[in-house]
Structure 1
Amino acid sequence: MSRLFLNSFDIRNFFRSKTIVLRSYSKFYSKVHNAPQEKIPNLLQKSSKIGVFAGGGTVAAIILRNHRVFCEKKTRLSGYKDISTKNVPFNWKKLWKYLKPHVFYFFAAIAGALIVAILNIQIPLIIGNIINIVSRFGETNNSKLFIEQMTIPCIKIIAMYGMQAFSTFFYIHMLSHLGEKMAFSMKRDLFEAVLKQDIGFFDDHRTGEVINRLTSDIQDFKSSFKQTVSGGLRAITQIIGCSASLVMISPQMTLITLLCVPSIVVVGTIFGKLLRNISIRAQVQGEKSTSVADEAVANIRTVRAFAMEADEEKLFETEAALAMDLNIRLGFGIGLFQAGTNLFLNGMVLGTIYMGGYLLATKQLSSGELMAFLIASQTIQRSFAQISLLFGSVIRGMASGTRVFEYMDMKPMIPLTGGHIIPDDKLKGNIEFRNVEFSYPSRPDQVILKDFNLSIPAGKTVAIVGASGNGKSTVVALLERFYDVNAGSITLDGEELLSLDPSWLRKRALGLISQEPILFGTSIIENIRYGKPDATDEEVINAAHLANAHNFITSFPQGYETLVGERGATLSGGQKQRIAIARALLKNPTVLLLDEATSALDTESEKIVQAALEKAQKGRTVIVIAHRLSTIENADIIVVLHRGKIVEVGNHEFLKNSKGYYWSLIYQQQEVPAG
């Protein structure tokens, strides 16, 4: 309440100071024009009431700022991080980066818009001249002289209308060309920036949020940019030019017409900052609703299996309602500004007619000059109205641009390229973990691996086992360099992973087969070729043979050209896994990483896939993350993890006879207690 009272007190002071300024203006006007102050139209005295507009805007700002969203409920997305709600300033340098390569189109559009604006300034003067001619011949019958005097002004105005039409077409075409090229460059660079982000970035950001910035935000920015340059430039030029014309026609009327313009600037500044923040919040909330829809559609089988359609619909409705309320608030603010602007502009027209009539009656103004003044003032009115309409577009565009540039400016900690590579003749597959300590970036307080030391000889198969949550899959993630260790080091053939080229490491040295392989919605042959884009069809088929996948692939009517559906939805789990194995083997990796590759399969599929994996392991260093202990009995080394530390190392028989953690895990998985 005290805050609201203070704002109200400030508003009253604003009114009082505004009235004092306008009265001082009145005295100044009377001295300059040698006219008694009492003869100045009452409109000037009453214009002090314009302070109500600015004050009303401030009150509306208070309402908008303190109003709470009507349905801010907690949902499963409530705890998700929204870094976009920060008040990040708009990056003008980044905008210039995208504008600079296409600056020719920009200046061409500016030239076209300026020509249209200048023509709009000149047209009222010519129309005023035509009105004077008409008024002079209104009481005579000399039609021949009338036609002679009207011919040149009419030809001029027709030529101006034609030039105005062509210039309008020209600058709109230039802006469309410019906007599309900028949007394409931004979309390309944003997608590139997203793909380069660390895996930790995707841990913190939902898919729907990222896609929303690639689509909606860039579209909003592009539309806002084109509208602002075309409409804003034309409107500002017309305001300045027509204001100069008004001064030349009648300084007295111009003083009254333009006296209260600063009020719009004041209110626009107040509203601009507030509405930009609301716009950013609305866009973030829109991302949340998009994320709900994205997850529900992508996981439709899970939704259907649990009969959760109604719950997903309700969750989407809740998130969409939050976005709706924020957009309603944004629309309320923009509408209030536009309504106040229109009220002010209509008051300008009324003031012009009132003052013009007074000057016409006192023979200080001709009828043609009055008409020219009215047309010019209406041009200014339309320009201000255009600016008020652009106000909301600018707010949304700047908010969208800020969010797009925010992602572009994020620098990944782990580069995609850079560093040296190990020559093929020296690449053996010796791996060593030395005093490794690691916590996930999203959970820095939870230590996953601590004092982790492990040496893996080249050509050996090492299985890592342990209860869930003890860091088995983390070992694979660190080898793939999805994350960097917090302390310690990992080496490959004596070279630190940090010094190696990450792209070479993943393309050539390592081959990952995960528990849930994701296939792309294309043909089988293209899914396998994803492991080595320049592979021949023969190489793809050989990889499929090695993965025990060729027989089932050729049993399909379209063979290798069979479409697998989104995420491989038309294939069984075992079929998807064998295609994933073929994809990994196609690049002939030195180190094969199997992250619970058979744990999600039925017994029959597991046997087939296990046979494929045994063929694939020959001649390679293999790290197996296993949940089913029966699949790793033949491993050369078995490492047992417990709470991020290695507690046992040995082969199957040795660890089984030791009656320690490994024996306990076997006991838990057997129906009959291990003897």
Structure 2
Amino acid sequence: MDDTPKADRVTWRGLWIWTRGSRGRLMSALLCALVGAGLGLAQPLIVDRTIDVATAGEPVVGLLCFLAVVFSGQAALQAWSTYRLDQAGEGIVRRLRQAMIDQLLRLRMAVYDQQRLGDLISRTTTDTTLLRDVLAMDVTNAIVNSVVVVGGVSMMMWLDPILAMVVMAVTVGSGCVVGVVLKGIRRETVAAQEATGSLAADLERVLSAIRTVRINRAEPRESAALSERNDAIYGHNVRAARLTAVVSPAIDLAVQGSLIVVIVVGLSRVASGHMAVGELVAFLLYVNYLAAPLSGLFDIGPSLQTGLASLERAQELLDLPTEHDQERRMTGVVTGSGLRLEGLRFRYTDREILKGATFEVPRNSYTAIAGPSGAGKSTIFSLLGRFYEPTAGTITLDGRDAYAEHTIGEWRSRIGLVEQHSPLMYGTLRDNLTYAAPDADEAWLRQVVDMAGLTALVERLPEGLDTRVGEHGSTLSGGEQQRVAIARSLLARPEILLLDEPTSHLDAAHEQLLAHTLHRISAECTLVVIAHRLSTIQSADQVVVLGTGEVVASGRYDEVRDHLPAQPTTV
């Protein structure tokens, strides 16, 4: 996503920040786990005492009952701790995922142009799931296991310092081996997650254009390209597995080696009288008891690297720039001057798209914007929608600046937009129509349906407005999708309605119907239409002709026809 080095970008402080809101659960779980660990550490001492009492020929029923109570208490505390940790982990992931969702919905439009949507989705879904364990279970278990190991080692030092030092030497040697491979595991894990995001992005690209893929017989090429991504994921994961495989023998060496050393050295010390049998049994119990926490500490290392890699990818998304409002400066002057664009300039990367475009759109009028491809028509719509900010110049509506005197939400509440490709959402026809105005009354909804020429469609559908339209409106024709998009915008009663060639998917009959509808709409709001068809241009009250980022003519069709491209049906 960026060129910032991955290593060490996310710190423990970054992990701690996301525990806000779940720290109470984490602390209670940690406390229960620590108390349970303390009960576990006490058990070998109780066994040692029980052996001594039994050797002396005294009754041990009380000690055995006490041992059973301690064991049961440890099990109950561990069960409760595990539940609270899972609950806290799910809460942390929910908050992080929601923050990422909110971020995705508010990114600057230029970010969507530069990023791959499939990868952004993968970061929000797959990576946040991987974070759950590291943010709750692994961190807490690392603390508890560390306390258990320190406590167990302390008790072993108290029982027999020499034998404890031998065990520590074996364990530290294994730990050094694990420490060396952790960085490599994190590096390969990050690369695997990046490759997974790229695969998701490529799949999204291919499946969203599956008809184009099929008709061009591109399945083998796309399969080969996706296979390369898949092979890259496999390669990174195998290399990470190879490094992780080193951890397992190191753990076995620490655990099994320690047991062997304790048995061999311990028996010799018992034989020499430097250690009692009960102490040796207690020491062996401590070694056995510490095996799981010690193994857990080694296992947590690779898991933490995976979680940190996921958090890096999540944090990269959260660091992307979002839309924000400028400081408002109200002039208090409100006039009926309509929409005015003055000296509008816009540069995209190294290319200047608009070079001082100026024109006015009177209120309740119908204005068509025409011109050759690349003249800046779509850019003007993007600026009117406040998807980008102009390099220079102003946009005003009734004398109020679109950027300086409106929040983004306020401005967009006055604007409606119908895109040329008319994207529809999965759901019912009613869901799509009321998308911008969910509280619209039924009478106004029916009126808008009629204005957009959708009455016949609604009557034909099996469940009327409550019929599902499929993914991206796949059950509707292109013209029907276009009219649904127009109705959707009209339902919100915008002051200005922007339409990007609304007749592009319509047949002749519906084109005439729409032309009549547009004139009816212009009595309710101001229409600005990007025109690619001669009929759209001719029916407008005003035509603005763009040429390489500047307005070359404006007026009625008869006044600007000489400035239009030679073939007006393709402009």
TM over 0.5: yes
Q: CA shift at 1:642, angstroms? A: 2.4
Matched, 1:501 2:445: no
Partner of 1:430: 338
Q: Name the counterpart of 1:101.
A: 21
Q: Cα offset for 1:591?
A: 1.0
For structure 2, list consecutive stretches of 5 or more residues without a partner in the other structure: none
Shift of 1:120: 1.9
Q: Secondary structure at the match of 2:374?
A: coil
Deviation of 1:209 (Å): 1.4
The answer to whether the aligner puts 1:642 opposite 2:562 as a matched pair is: no
Q: Distance in 1 between matches of 2:256 and 2:399?
A: 80
Change (3 A) 1:365 1:87: closer
Q: Is the Cα–Cα contact under 8 Å of residues 574 and 609 in structure 1 kept in the other structure?
A: no
Q: Which residue is 1:193 aligned to? A: 103
Q: Which residue of 2 aligns with 1:477?
A: 382
- Say whether residues 1:547 and 2:440 are aligned partners: no
Partner of 2:38: 118
With normalisation by structure 2, the TM-score equals 0.93
Q: Is the 8 A contact 1:239 1:383 kept in 2?
A: yes
Q: What is the CA–CA distance in structure 2 between the aligned matches of 1:253 and 1:331, rounded to whole Å?
A: 34
The one-letter code sitting in structure 2 at the alignment partner of 1:502 is: I
Partner of 1:326, secondary structure, is: helix
Q: Would you say 1:354 and 2:253 are equivalent positions?
A: no
TM-superposed CA distance for 1:239, in Å, is 0.3
Alpha-carbon separation, structure 1, partners of 2:433 and 2:227: 40
The letter for the 2-side match of 1:431 is L
Q: How does 1:435-454 map to 2 (within 5 A)?
A: 435-440=343-348, 444-454=349-359
Letter in 2 for 1:113: A
SS at match of 2:35: helix
Does residue 316 (structure 1) correspond to residue 226 (structure 2)? The answer is yes
For residues 384 and 219 of structure 1, do their structure 2 counterparts lie closer, same or farther at Cα, with a shift above 3 Å needed? Answer: same
Partner residue in 2 for 1:630: 535
Deviations 1:412-448 (A, max 9, x none): 2434x9858999x9585722222222123xxx11221
2:461 alignment partner, one of 543, 553, 556: 556
What SS does the corresponding residue of 2:342 show, helix, strand or coil?
Answer: strand
Find the structure with the greater CA-based Rg. 1
Paired residue secondary structure (1:664): coil
Q: Which residue of 2 aligns with 1:183?
A: 93
Distance verdict in 2 for CA 1:487–1:420, change over 3 Å = closer
In 2: Cα distance, 1:254 partner to 1:218 partner: 41
C-alpha separation in 1, matches of 2:31 and 2:482: 61
CA distance, structure 2, for counterparts of residue 429 and residue 349 of structure 1? 89
Letter in 1 for 2:161: P
Question: Which residue is 1:393 aligned to?
Answer: 303
Give yes or no for contact 1:91–1:402 (8 Å, CA) kept in 2: no
- Listed one character per residue, the Cα deviations across residues 211-241 of structure 1 (whole Å, up to 9, x for unaligned) are 2122111111012233314532332121011
Contact 2:545 2:554 (8 Å CA) reproduced: yes
Q: Which amino acid aligns with 1:434?
A: E
Contact 1:435 1:488 in 2 (8 A): yes
Q: Please give the alpha-carbon distance, in whole angstroms, between the structure 2 residues aligned to 1:352 and 1:463.
A: 89
Question: 1:27-59: CA deviations, max 9, x gaps?
Answer: xxxxxxxxxxxxxxxxxxxxxxxxxxxxxxxxx
C-alpha distance in 2 between matches for 1:429 and 1:332: 71
Offset, 1:260: 5.2
Letter in 2 for 1:436: L
Is residue 85–residue 280 contact of structure 1 (8 Å, CA) maintained in 2?
Answer: no
- Kept in 2, the 8 Å contact 1:434–1:489? The answer is yes
Match of 1:664 in 2: 566
The answer to whether the 8 A contact 1:116-1:234 is kept is no
CA distance in structure 1 between the aligned counterparts of 2:454 and 2:3, rounded to whole angstroms: 45
Q: 1:376 to 1:88 in 2, by over 3 A?
A: closer
Report the counterpart of residue 158 of structure 2 in structure 1: 248
CA distance in 2 between counterparts of 1:515 and 1:669 reads 15
How many Å separate the matches in 2 of 1:128 and 1:213?
A: 52
1:582 to 475, 481, 487: 487
How far residue 323 of structure 1 moved from its aligned partner, in angstroms, is 1.3
* Structure 1 counterpart of 2:276, from 366, 374, 377: 366
> SS in structure 1 opposite 2:223?
helix
Following the alignment from structure 2 to structure 1, what is the Cα–Cα distance between the partners of residues 555 and 6? 52
Structure 1 range deviating more: 222-231 or 561-570: 222-231
Residues 524/420 of structure 1: CA separation in 2 closer, same or farther (3 Å cut): farther
Distance 1:155 1:347, change over 3 A: same
Q: Cα offset for 1:115?
A: 1.8
In structure 1, list runs of 5 or more residues that go unmatched: 1-80, 138-144, 671-675
Assess, with a 3 A threshold, how the Cα gap between structure 1 residues 605 and 328 changes in structure 2: closer, same or farther: farther
Partners of 2:508 and 2:16 lie apart in 1 by 60
Q: Would you say 1:90 and 2:10 are equivalent positions?
A: yes
1:564-575 alignment, distance < 5 Å = 564-575=469-480
In 2, are the aligned partners of 1:524 and 1:560 still within 8 Å (CA)?
yes
Give the AA of the match of 1:106.
Answer: L
Distance (whole Å) between structure 2 residues aligned to residue 649 and residue 395 of structure 1: 62
- Taking the aligned partners of 2:344 and 2:90, their CA distance within structure 1 comes to 49
Paired positions, count: 570
Q: 1:221 aligns with which of 110, 116, 131?
A: 131
CA contact (8 A) 1:568 1:576 kept: yes
Identity over aligned pairs, percent: 26
Q: Equivalent residue for 1:515?
A: 420
C-alpha distance in structure 2 between counterparts of 1:602 and 1:187, whole Å = 45
Aligned to 2:395: 490
Task: Judge conservation of contact 1:517–1:576 (CA < 8 Å) in 2.
Answer: yes
Deviation at 1:349, TM superposition (A): 2.5
RMSD: 2.6
Aligned mates of 2:532, 2:490 — CA distance in 1: 23
Task: Tell me how far apart the structure 2 counterparts of residues 362 and 311 of structure 1 sit (CA, whole Å).
Answer: 76
Q: Tell me the CA shift for residue 261 of structure 1.
A: 4.5
Offset at residue 410 of structure 1 (A): 3.3
Q: What is the Cα deviation at residue 200 of structure 1?
A: 1.3
Return 462-471 or 89-98, whichever deviates more.
89-98
- What's the CA shift for 1:130? 3.3
Q: Secondary structure at the match of 2:341?
A: strand
Q: Is the contact between residue 15 and residue 135 of structure 2 (CA under 8 Å) also seen in structure 1?
A: no
* Distance of 1:327 and 1:317 partners within structure 2: 15
Q: Secondary structure at the match of 2:22?
A: helix
Are 1:457 and 2:362 counterparts?
yes
Distance across 2 between alignment mates of 1:395 and 1:216: 16
TM-fit CA distance, 1:566:
1.1
* TM score, norm. by length of structure 1: 0.79
Alpha carbons 1:82, 1:284 under 8 Å: kept: no
- Report the CA distance between 1:191 and its aligned residue: 0.8
SS at match of 2:566: helix
1:669–1:194: structure 2 CA closer, same or farther, 3 Å change rule? closer
**Residues 102-146 of structure 1 deviation map (CA, whole Å, 9 limit, x = unaligned):** 322111100111122112211122223334455x37xxxxxxx45
Tell me the secondary structure at the aligned position of residue 389 of structure 2: coil
| Structure 2 CA distance for partners of 1:410 and 1:92, relative to 1, 3 Å | farther
Contact 1:466 1:665 in 2 (8 A): no
What are the superposed Cα offsets for residues 514-549 of structure 1, whole Å, 9 maximum, x if unpaired?
111111111112211112121112221111112121
| Alignment-mate amino acid for residue 227 of structure 1 | M
For residues 392 and 279 of structure 1, what CA distance do their matches in structure 2 show?
9
Identify the residue that residue 10 of structure 1 maps to in structure 2: none
Deviation at 1:285, TM superposition (A): 0.8
Look up the SS of the partner of 1:640 in the other structure.
strand
Give the match's secondary structure for 1:451: strand
User: Shift in Å at residue 252 of structure 1?
Assistant: 0.9
SS at match of 1:104: helix
Alpha-carbon shift at residue 569 of structure 1 (Å): 0.6
Checking the alignment, whether the CA contact within 8 Å between 1:490 and 1:497 is kept in structure 2 is: yes
